Homo-oligomer: A and B are copies of this chain.
């Protein structure tokens, strides 16, 4: 039976949202996997006491320390060795569990995952990919922040990893790969993308060339690669769009009573329509390239998001995404 370690102390509302998410994931999955809640035992027990979770495959692994959003990511192994993040990743490294899920300090999860699990041979840098719902369905944009300054080879590796992820997780045969740039022609781009273009043109990926900012939501490619600086900014910008829209509707409602009523009529369906644009629904982003399955979520992850993250972790483990990445990048490394 597959086992997943959940950082029960990670999110802004931990351990409540974590425990609620774990319970709903196990219920949705008919108890087909086990979840180890990693964190302060006393807190977890007291939170669990009020839940009807007796028949679920839930266990508790004690970890005394809690990593906060203010802890320096690179130092966590040294400063908080008995934290839920470090303990859970050690369980994963030692094959006690098959995957790790956290809504905690993203930088710390990333750094500790890389240090404790190590990189897949052939991977220069792990990458975080984020799902973007678009007009055609969904695509993965990577990197969105793991690697701010990238070399062309890194972008090539992101493309390989993203392509495998999309094939397995989106069930998309031969996913189209685009290079995020400032124009469609091969000659458009910055120094790094122009050099990456050559690597990608020579690869055996289904590479469609440059894509532009507007092509992400149009759904022109299932996999879009960029450096982590650009990707992080686009992701955070995208996440803020519904905020502006809500503000505009509020301003509109404040203009008059009929407009207020209209805004009320609108808000129901609009919420439903915008639901699809809700990045949280997709529940967490994978850290690709490390020797294990790590799914990272927002600090403000809801129980639904936590549950989605757990189910995604299961899927990544079952579909052997990492083995496929290792196979794909091994020859490329010898070649270069």
Say whether A149 faces chain B, with CB atoms less than 8 Å apart.
Answer: yes
- Chain B residue numbers with a CB within 8 Å of A269 are 252, 259, 262-263, 266
**Given A229-B182, A234-B233, A248-B276; A243-B217 close (CB under 8 Å):** yes
Are B182 and A247 touching (Cβ within 8 A)?
Answer: no
Copies in the complex: 2
Are B241 and A189 touching (Cβ within 8 A)?
Answer: no
Are B230 and A214 touching (Cβ within 8 A)?
Answer: no
- Give the residues from 227 to 277 in chain A that come closer than 8 angstroms, CB to CB, to chain B: 227-230, 232-241, 243-245, 247-249, 252, 259, 262-263, 265-266, 269-270, 272-274, 276-277
- Give a binary string over A141-169; 1 marks a CB under 8 Å from any B CB, 0 the rest: 00001001100000000000000000000
Say whether A218 faces chain B, with CB atoms less than 8 Å apart.
Answer: yes
Closest approach, in angstroms, between the C-beta of A100 and any C-beta of chain B? 23
- Chain B residue numbers with a CB within 8 Å of A265 are 262, 265-266
- Chain B residue numbers with a CB within 8 Å of A149 are 190-191
What are 30 A-B contacts with C-beta separation under 8 Å?
A135-B244, A135-B247, A145-B182, A148-B190, A180-B233, A182-B228, A182-B229, A190-B227, A193-B229, A212-B232, A212-B233, A213-B234, A213-B235, A213-B236, A213-B238, A213-B239, A217-B243, A229-B230, A230-B230, A237-B238, A241-B241, A244-B277, A248-B273, A248-B276, A248-B277, A259-B269, A262-B265, A263-B269, A265-B265, A266-B266
A245 to B218, CA, bound (A): 11
Size category, A interface: 35 or more
Say whether A134 faces chain B, with CB atoms less than 8 Å apart.
Answer: yes
A135 to B238, CA, bound (A): 15
Are B270 and A266 touching (Cβ within 8 A)?
Answer: yes
Chain A interface (Cβ within 8 Å of chain B)? 134-135, 145, 148-149, 180-182, 189-191, 193, 212-218, 226-230, 232-241, 243-245, 247-249, 252, 259, 262-263, 265-266, 269-270, 272-274, 276-277
Closest approach, in angstroms, between the C-beta of A246 and any C-beta of chain B? 9
A190 to B150, CA, bound (A): 9
- Chain B residue numbers with a CB within 8 Å of A277 are 244-245, 248
SS class of chain A's interface: helix, strand, loop or mixed?
A: helix
**Given A182-B229, A266-B270; A189-B148 close (CB under 8 Å):** yes
Are B234 and A234 touching (Cβ within 8 A)?
Answer: yes
Closest B residue to A236 by CB, please name it: B213
Q: Which of B134, B214, B241, B270 contacts A236 (CB 8 A)?
A: B214
**Given A190-B149, A273-B248; A135-B243 close (CB under 8 Å):** yes
- Chain B residue numbers with a CB within 8 Å of A238 are 213, 237
Are B245 and A273 touching (Cβ within 8 A)?
Answer: yes
- Chain B residue numbers with a CB within 8 Å of A216 are 237, 240
Are B262 and A249 touching (Cβ within 8 A)?
Answer: no
- Chain B residue numbers with a CB within 8 Å of A215 are 240
